[in-house]
Amino acid sequence: MGLFDLFGGPKKSVAPPAPAIPPLLKERGVHVFANTHGRFGWDPTNPIPCGSSFSEVGAEKYLTWLKWKGAEVVAQRLGSVGVDGMPGMVDRYSLSVDEKNIGTIFLCAYSKNNSFRLPKGFSPSKAY
């Protein structure tokens, strides 16, 4: 009998449980959150999945991919909002082209992948 057996074995560290991640659906290679409603990307209740090891990297990569009527988009983070059904905060970004505001989109970093789906009105700027 070893020393650990005498006292019930070595102590195991217990990590806090990770937040639940909403399930993702794959639609023809496109990632979207399940059980959402509203306009994809335009409404906080249907945010764009843009996860990575560092959420800002995922969001930055996704945002640089967007074009509006052929023009590059400039994004400015406005902060985060809580949304029922999401395990964490949803980030808000104000988008503009040539200093003209085109609207606010919503991204959620609580996914394993960046989405390949575009909000209505956008086109891809390059291979993603």
pTM of the model: 0.75
Give domain limits for the chain.
40-118
Please list the residues that pair with 95 across neighbouring strands.
Answer: 75, 103
The 10s digit of each residue's pLDDT in 75-100 is 999 999 999 888 688 999 999 999 99
Dihedral angle at the C-alpha atoms of 114, 120, 126, 128, nearest 10 degrees? 20
Nearest CA to 104 out of 33, 54, 42 is that of 42
**What pLDDT shows up at residue 115?**
85
Q: What is the pLDDT of residue 32?
A: 83
